[in-house]
Structures are given as C-alpha cells and as structure tokens.
Structure 1
Amino acid sequence: MDKKHKNIDKKVISFIPDGEFYYHKGVKAMQRERYDEAHKYLQRAVELSPNDPLILMQFGILVMEQGMFEEAYEILAAAHGLDPEEEDIIFYLAEVHAHLGLLRDAKIYAEKYIALAPDGPLADDSMKIIDFAEQEEAFFKDEEMPDGEVYFLQEKARRSMESGDFEEAIKILEAIIIDYPDFWAAYNNLALAYFYVGNIEPAKELLYDVLDKNKGNIHALCNLAVFYYYEKDQKELDQMLDLLLKIKPYQFVHRYKLGATFALVGKHKEAYGWLRSLQKKGFEGDAGYYFWLAHSAYFSGNEQVAKDAYEKLVELDPSKEGLEPWKDVHSSVKPESYEQDREFLLSKIGNKYRSERLLGFYLLGKSGHKQEIISHPAYIDLDKLSVMEQLFLAQSLDYEFTIVNEFDESFLRAVQATDLLYAEYKPLDKQGTHLFQMWFTLCEVGLQRAYHFRNPKALAAAADYMFQSSRYKGVTKTAIARMYGISPQTLTKYVNELIEFLPHFNQ
C-alpha cells in the first residue's frame, strides 16, 4: 500500500504542464469553437514558451479570428522574428495586414509565401490576397496606402495617448515625422499630444505647417477648431466652423472627424447629420463614434437614435453606463428648452453679474450638458467663485451638504424655493428664464443680507406673484396663493419682504 502511494506521488510531482501541453489544449478548444477557453490556454502556452514561433502563430491566428487585428499583428510579427522563413507565419502576416487595410504589405507577404511555397496549402488564399490588393490599389493614391511599420508606430502612439502617457506618444510621433515627413496623420496626432500637455503654440504651429504643405487637410482643420474651442477664441472658432460647414467629404474617416468635431463644439444638428449618415451606410464605429452620435442625436431632438447609440456605446465601453446626456434631466425637459441650450448656459456661467452666474450654475444641474461643461478646462474656475456660487454649483452636482451654520440653513431653504419655482415653470421657455433672472437677483441680495428664507413655499409664491403681476393684468394674490398652498395674507407678507431686495435705481 505504501509503495503504491509513493509511486502515485512521484508521478504527480513530476508532471508540470509546459507550453506544449497548453498549446494542444488550446488547439482542441479552437476545433470545438470554444474561443474564450482557447484564448486562455494559448495565452498560457505563450507565457510558458515565449520563443516557440508555432505557438505564437497559433495564438496570433486565434486573436485575429476574434477581431483583434492589431494585437494579432504584434503576436505574428514576434513569431516571424523567431522564424523568418516559416511559410504559414508569412501567410498569416499577409492576412492580418489585409484585415488592417495595409494592402501594400499584405501583398508583399502573400507574394513571399508564393515564392516559398508555390504549391503550398495556402497558395490559393495568398493569390486571393494579391488580387484583392491590386484591385484596391487602383482606387488609392500612393501616399494614401500607409506603410505597415509607420501604421503600427502610429497605433502605439495612439494607445499611449489613450492611457494618458502623452510624453511617450510625443516621443514616438516625433520619430515618425522625421522618418516619414509626409505622413500627415502623425503631425495631427502630435499636435493633439502637444496641446494636451500644454504646449499650445507649438501644437497650432504644427497644424499650420500641415495646412501649408497639405492644403485642406480635414483633420488639421478640425483639430484647430477644437483648439480654438478650448481656448474660448470665439472669433477664430466661428471662422473655422464656417469653413468646415462648406466641406462635403466622401471618405468615412473624414465624415466621422467632422461629425465628432461639430458635436464637441456644440453644433449638434450638423454633427448628427454627418454621424447618422455613416450609420445609414452600414458604418460600424468604435466607442467614440457612438458617444458623439448619442450626444448629437439627443441634443438635436432624435432621442430614440440617441438611446440606441448609447446602448451600443455601453456594450463597447461599460464604464460609460450612467453618464447618458439625459441622465440628470427630468422627463419633461425638452432638448430645445433653455436648460438644454448650451450657449445660453455658458453665457450665464460666464456672465459678469453674480446673480446670472447663480442662475447658470443652478440650471447646469438640470442640463444634459452638465458633464461636458464641468469637464471643460476653461469654463469654470473654482478658485474665482464666491462661497455662494460654489454652493449653487455643488448643489447642481448633487453634493451632500453638512449644515454648519445659519447661512447653510438659509441657503438650503433658498434652494427649496428655487426648486418649487422650477417645478412650476419647467421646461424653461423665455418667460421662465426672465422669472429666474429676477429670482436669483432677489436670492443673491437675500443671502448677502443673511435673510433666513424661512418659508420656501411662500417665497416661491411671492416671487411668482411679483413676476406675473408686473407683466400681466388680472393676476390675483388669491390665485397664486392657492397654487402654492398658502394663504393670501402669507403671500402678502413675503412679497413685502422680497420687495426690499429689488435693486433701487437713482432718479
């Protein structure tokens, strides 16, 4: 008995799975179409046998079949480096380049396979790749067919930018434009990287240089529009947008760029036109495409398209769930209301009068533009806001308040009165905005004078009565008091208190 157990233990201890073991398990899983399982096994096989070109090739084939073509290229390129004469690796390099649209390189690798294995099992497929590449080449200018090496360097830089490593991206892109001085995409991305790290003037100079040497470059024009937008240079932005509105590109990538740019700067109707046109032609975009389509669709009144696009976005990027542009917007608020008018909000937030800024901060919490505006680096400077403004902004962002003193209590009651007025007038039309402009004038003075705002319902009713009675005949205190559930006597009391906060002008 003891001897038998000893032999079993010896066999168990001596079996250590190697790369070959996981490779065979991965191949079997692929044959059974269990691709997630195959991916796990082959990834482990590569970890254990990183210098086995055939294991790397098989993993690259699987990754390519899963649609991850850039990752597949890197794996297959590594396998090719280990065994430059292996015919199958060369064929799959041809195939992955074809999937990536790098047809010049796809043709080179396919021709190399034919030269090495003219009667090989993949010779017919290689000829198909060659034929396809030759047919497509007829539709492109030579400079539009990127070299494989520069393409992947560009993609590496793009991934660095997406992860926030702009310095690494700058290093790669600067090297690209030295070796490939006519590769304009690298210049455009380098300009973006410069801009993101604060080198604004070099970024713009780079784009001017692109436009000087490659006139009408749509990506450079759009990037300049974005720079002017973030710098709040409205004059230059308007001129650039006038030019972009005249451009009618054919290629998908240019339509996408135009649509995303228009959406970012708030031209949602124009953005929706371009982005929706791509979808109608069968374009399958990335997460960024569905993000901008959802926003431009929602703010141009196409709510169902917006919701369908955002659903697709969440499938591609689950982290975006809960950040829908309509998330914090009441169902009765329409996209064309003042709460959803981005330029109106910005005019209030940047107004020279504090009462107007208070109105802007309050309405920001009701707007689908909230995330966009608070994330903009130039719109709100917290260090320059008064305590009152900071509180209204915090209230819009749904911060929880800790009551420390009487001012805090007064502020929260003032917000309650504001909410009651908003409930009566939402969605805001022009008349509603005039009421709120008056109310925030009263509110600012009241908070300055340490007014307690003790009865929010009566204060809302008083403000409503003051506004309506100054504009319309036949407005009675009895009717307004009934609307807010208070007595006419109480309404009169609070009207008299609020009148003291109206501005007095010298005669």
Structure 2
Amino acid sequence: MDKNQLGIEMMKEGKWEEAAKVFMEVIEANPNDAVAYVNFGNVLSAVGDPERAMKFFEKAIELGGGGAAYYSAGALLYEKEQFDEAKKMFDQAIKEGLHTSDNYFMLGMCLVQLQTARLALPYLQRAVELNPDDAEALFQYGLCLAQEGLLDEAISQLHKCIEIDEQHADALYNLGVAYAFKENKEQALSYLDKAIEIQPDHLLALNTKAVISSSDNNVN
C-alpha cells in the first residue's frame, strides 16, 4: 500500500492527525504529487480549516490534479454556500474526466440551490443512474421532478428512495404531497402519517395533513 492509500485508510478511521502526517511526508518527498495535496486538503476540510484546505486544492489544480482536485474544491465551496463557484468546479471536474455519481449529484445540487431546478434534472438523473442505491440522490431527483410538475416520475423516484431508506421522513412527506396533488387523499394521508410517525415534529407534514383532513370535513 502506497502512502497516499495509507493516509486515506487513516482518514476512513478518523485518524486525522496521522493521515495529515502521512500526506505531508508524501508532499515533502515529492512536491509535485497532486494527489497528496488533494488528500491533505481533504483532511484540513474535515477538521474545520477550510481556508488552508482551499490552498491545497488550488495547488493540486495547478499541478494537474484533475477531476479529484476540482471536486474537492467544489465540495468546500458548496459547504460555504458559494454555489455558483462550486458549480464551476464540479463542471470542470466532469471535463477532467470525473464521471462519478457524487460529482453529478453535487453539480445538480448547486443548480437546485441556484433556483434552476430544470437545469439540475439531467445531472441528478445521471447521479441515480450511476448509483441507484443512493437514497438522497433519489430523493433530490424526485423533488426536482415534482418542482417541474412531473408528478408521476417524481412519485416513482420517491418510492425508490423509501425502498432504500424507509425512515426518510422528507421523502414520505413529499410522496404525501404528490398524491394530494393527484387527488388521492387516502394515499396522501397514509404517507403523511408515516412521515409524522418517524418525525413527530415534521411541521410541513402536520400542516398538510391538517389541510387535507379539514377539506374532508368541509365536504362532509
């Protein structure tokens, strides 16, 4: 196992100081090792030092670190809510050949945050195609479809989400809303009840259930 891989294993175990030491040894031995700069930046980001982390990502990009360097920089910018700059990084990561589910997902999420859900759709779709077991990607894709009025497609993706994570209260809530729009009150209330059972303080689910129940009472 090379030192970069050793450091990554330490990161997985939460041994941040040990990982940082290993990556610094790699950088000292080979100052042009872009991968080590990315890895060291990821350690700094994980321990709450985003400013220094970005300097290492920028150095990795300068050294030709490829998609991984742009992805890590994008993730850091996303956390700082600099969504337009993050989007540029994830887009560049794709151009550099990083065709991973995570990268497409994060690019899609940037576009969602920038209030351009329609533009996010193909990226979120690609993310779930590459990783069909990612419950959060399925949820966000379903949510995006719903926002664009594609209810049947949204319901399909949200069902896939809760098949993987049956405790996903937000997915259950949004299924309830989707069925309410389709005027299937029985199904809507069923999913809203499940969301509330999992998260009793889910205000959106509670309020939506109250509105649907009130409309039933008014009809009666």
TM-score bin (small chain): 0.5 to 0.7
Residue among 252, 259, 262 paired with 2:138 = 259
Deviation of the 1:272 alpha carbon: 0.8
Mapping 1:479-498, distance limit 5 Å: none
Mapping 1:202-217, distance limit 5 Å: 202-214=85-97, 216-217=99-100
CA spacing shift, 1:332–1:170, aligned 2, 3 Å: same
Q: Who is 1:238 aligned against?
A: 118
Residue among 148, 158, 162 paired with 1:272 = 158
Q: Is the 8 A contact 1:225 1:241 kept in 2?
A: yes
Deviation of the 1:206 alpha carbon: 0.8
Which residue identity is paired with 1:261? Q
Mapping 1:90-489, distance limit 5 Å: 150=39, 154=42, 157=45, 160=48, 168-176=49-57, 178=59, 181-182=65-66, 184=68, 187-188=70-71, 190-195=73-78, 197=80, 199-214=82-97, 216-233=99-116, 237-242=117-122, 244-245=124-125, 248-250=129-131, 252=133, 255-265=134-144, 267=146, 268-279=154-165, 290-301=168-179, 304=190, 307-308=193-194, 311-312=197-198, 322-331=201-210, 333=212, 426=215
Report how many residues are paired: 173
Q: Is the 8 A contact 2:142 2:157 kept in 1?
A: yes
TM-score by length of 1: 0.27
Deviation per CA, 1:208-255: give whole Å up to 9, x if none. 21110125433333333333333333xxx4244146446523463xx3
Which residue identity is paired with 1:74? K
Deviation of the 1:310 alpha carbon: 5.9
Gaps of 5+ in 1: 1-68, 82-145, 161-167, 281-288, 315-320, 335-422, 428-507
Which residue identity is paired with 2:96? K
Q: Is the 8 A contact 2:67 2:93 kept in 1?
A: no
CA spacing shift, 1:323–1:202, aligned 2, 3 Å: same
CA spacing shift, 1:156–1:324, aligned 2, 3 Å: farther
Q: State the structure with bigger RCO (CA 8 A, min sep 6), 1 or 2.
A: 2
Gaps of 5+ in 2: 1-9, 22-34, 147-153, 180-186
CA spacing shift, 1:323–1:71, aligned 2, 3 Å: farther
Deviation of the 1:198 alpha carbon: 5.6
Deviation per CA, 1:7-38: give whole Å up to 9, x if none. xxxxxxxxxxxxxxxxxxxxxxxxxxxxxxxx
Q: Who is 2:26 aligned against?
A: none
Q: Who is 1:74 aligned against?
A: 15
CA spacing shift, 1:311–1:172, aligned 2, 3 Å: farther
Deviation of the 1:173 alpha carbon: 5.0
Tell me how far apart the structure 1 counterparts of residues 46 and 192 of structure 2 sit (CA, whole Å). 27
**Structure of higher CA gyration radius:** 1
Deviation per CA, 1:35-61: give whole Å up to 9, x if none. xxxxxxxxxxxxxxxxxxxxxxxxxxx
Tell me how far apart the structure 2 counterparts of residues 217 and 77 of structure 1 sit (CA, whole Å). 28
TM-score by length of 2: 0.52
Q: Is the 8 A contact 2:16 2:43 kept in 1?
A: no
Q: Is the 8 A contact 2:87 2:107 kept in 1?
A: yes
Q: Is the 8 A contact 2:16 2:47 kept in 1?
A: no
Tell me how far apart the structure 2 counterparts of residues 198 and 218 of structure 1 sit (CA, whole Å). 21
Q: Is the 8 A contact 1:294 1:309 kept in 2?
A: yes
Tell me how far apart the structure 1 counterparts of residues 46 and 197 of structure 2 sit (CA, whole Å). 25
Tell me how far apart the structure 2 counterparts of residues 238 and 291 of structure 1 sit (CA, whole Å). 24
CA spacing shift, 1:170–1:325, aligned 2, 3 Å: farther
CA spacing shift, 1:70–1:274, aligned 2, 3 Å: farther
